[in-house]
A and B are shown apart, each in its own frame.
Chain A
Amino acid sequence: MTTTGHLEIEGIAKSWGKLAALSDITLDIAAGRFVSLLGPSGCGKTTLLRLVAGSLAPDSGRLVLDGREITRLPTHRRNMGMVFQSFALFPHLSVAENVAFPLRVRGVGRAERERRAAEALAMVHLAAYAGASPRQLSGGQQQRVGLARAIVYRPTVLLLDEPLSNLDTALREEMRLEIGEVTHRLGITAIYVTHDQREALALSDEIAVMRAGRIVQVGTPTDIHRRPADAFVAGFLGYANALPLTVAGGVGRLADGTVVGLPPGAPEGTAVAFMHASDVVLRAAGSDAVGLACEVTELAFMGERMEFALRHVSGLRLKAAAPIGASVFARGDRVTAELPPERLVVVPP
């Protein structure tokens, strides 16, 4: 559906003095794709976004948009849209004037400007607030104005810099859906910077996980979630359980010698096995289940599920989660924690 917005990031590097902020970043973003840059603060994801926007210039490497090099093109000629963490609405303009601002700068006539601004405001369900000042709006509303302003001129690429970080938890999901709806409706290429793996997984066609100025893994949300490339990615994606192992001949052992069944193809030597809490199966101790003998040290009611904190006899701590009613254990109960091998992700440390 979309024919423009193919962005190629080729070997981009940027450093602040001696500190390398980005090293050898290469990423091909196909037209109309929604790509997230995911990583902890300081990993360089915002720096990369600002390089794409043109607020910063790279030390080396190229940016190519639809076959045309834009590495040195000033920001205002890149035709990109941006949604800011801090909203960055113009306080001296009304909501409608904020949204119409990019059109005004582009010399679009008044009638056309007003029509398109109204259309963009309607798209984010804020038509009723056109005449208001941004200051009169809630954070969620302000960010929707920010989104309308960023798409009203149909930019080639939409850049989103942690757009949900300044919003209340309740508003966050609503705004996330809004962003998903709008970008899919327009079929626009989008680059979304976040440190929240749930946002990235929910919204993206593709995720690039970043660490210390490098991209460590690129893949679909399912890929990244099911097959994290290393311990960092797995940890960052919220795997609750990390078991240090020694793998020899396809057999994994914990530090105390307990054998853990592994999926085929696990790397030999020292490794870490990751597993989501919800994949751990709890059974009462003494049943013929095979697994780790643990004690329930804490439990928490989380609404639709129960979470259990466990301690293995070796001292290793584990987490398990089960739907309400599926298993009833109390603090101090002895249990066997089954770790289904096909759910284990074994990566080098």
Chain B
Amino acid sequence: MMRRILLAGLLVLFGLFIVLPLAMVAIEGLGNRWFGSALLPASWTLRWFRYAAETANLEAVLLNTAYIALLATFFTLVVALPAAWALARRHVAFKAGLVALVLLPRMIPEITFALGVARIFYNFDLTNTYAGIALAHVILAAPFAVLVLIATFEGMDQRLLEAGRVCGCGPLALARRVILPLAMPGIIAAALFSFLASYNDFVLTLLVYGPDTVTLPVQTYLSIGNGYMSVAGAISVILLAPSLLFLLLLLRMVRPEALLGGMKGA
């Protein structure tokens, strides 16, 4: 009994640990006159959203962010699908080394990587372009996408591919009619995570954005810098929305444990 209470208590604490900061941001964005050490604001308002729209050019920023995220997702899949296929299905020399290389950007401090990327971008005049920023985000999105897709392809039943070939599928028909449909849960997961990796990215974007390519996280930062905490809160609420939506989508579509390993017959 004691153990159960203790366990429940720990779970609640852990939940608060994750949820509390998010709740604070939401309250910041929706609260009116929240000063000093008061636990809650004196009243509630939506005016910070209006403020954000007026002062921070919110519509353009939102479109920038979405556009870059879509582009980054597309680029990531274009790179990750063949890479994961090769790593999962073929005997590749130095396979472990290649996987480690793909993971590297996620293992080192993002600011370090961002510095290098920024340097290259200055050299090639890629800053303040959609494609350039999306390309930079691929580096962040690719590791997860490749890992998920490797698991997907490795878990694929070899016999089904053989059945497809015997049924008359050449390489292209096999990819279109058998491999893609079977891998779809993994591809959707990879796409969602790629989209979020780009949509949420701050550090890398900060070093390569320009006046025409301000994204939501960057605008949040700028608003804080300008002293508008509540505007930053309002933007953050908007920033949060797709992440939460995708999380729900993901839970409905893919079994979470499938993301960690074999997706047999999914």
Contact = CB atoms under 8 A, between A and B. Distances in A.
A76 B172 CA distance: 11
B165 interface: yes
B166 A81 contact: yes
A139 to B, nearest CB: 15
A252 B159 CA distance: 51
Contacts of A90: 160, 163-164, 178, 181-182
Nearest to B174: A76
Contact of B166 (A53, A91, A104, A106): A53
A80 B157 CA distance: 20
Contacts, number: 63
Nearest to B165: A75
B169 interface: yes
B162 interface: yes
A53 B166 CA distance: 7
B11 to A, nearest CB: 35
Contact of A153 (B157, B165, B168, B177): B168
A74 to B, nearest CB: 7
Interface string A112-152: 00000000000000000000000000000000000001100
A74 B171 CA distance: 10
Interface string A289-313: 0000000000000000000000000
A105 interface: yes
A149 B182 contact: no
A302 to B, nearest CB: 37
A92 B182 contact: yes
A86 B168 contact: no
A88 B162 contact: yes
A86 B159 contact: yes
Contact of B177 (A79, A91, A105): A105
B159 A88 contact: yes
B170 interface: yes
A236 interface: no
Contact of A105 (B159, B162, B173): B173
Best-buried of A76, A80, A106, A153 by chain B (most CB within 10 Å): A76
Contacts of B166: 53, 75-76, 80-82, 150, 159
Nearest to B162: A55
A84 interface: yes
A102 interface: yes
Interface residues on B, range: 20 to 34
B169 to A, nearest CB: 5
B265 to A, nearest CB: 6
Interface in B54-72: none
A239 interface: no
A82 B169 contact: no
B167 A102 contact: yes
B162 A91 contact: no
A192 interface: no
B265 A105 contact: no
A148 B54 CA distance: 65
Contact of B169 (A55, A76, A91, A150): A76
A34 interface: no
Contacts of A92: 181-182, 184
A274 interface: no
Contacts of B178: 90
A76 B168 contact: yes
A74 B164 CA distance: 12
Contacts of B182: 90-92
Interface in A57-115: 74-77, 79-82, 84, 86, 88-92, 101-102, 104-106
7 contacts: A55-B165, A75-B166, A76-B165, A82-B166, A90-B178, A91-B182, A150-B166
Interface of A: 53-55, 74-77, 79-82, 84, 86, 88-92, 101-102, 104-106, 149-150, 153, 159
8 closest A-B pairs by beta carbon, nearest first, are A102-B167, A88-B163, A75-B165, A105-B168, A88-B159, A82-B166, A92-B181, A76-B168
Given A75-B162, A75-B165, A105-B177, 20 more contacts: A55-B165, A74-B165, A74-B170, A76-B165, A76-B169, A76-B170, A82-B162, A84-B159, A84-B163, A86-B157, A88-B157, A89-B163, A90-B163, A90-B182, A92-B182, A101-B167, A102-B167, A106-B168, A149-B167, A159-B166
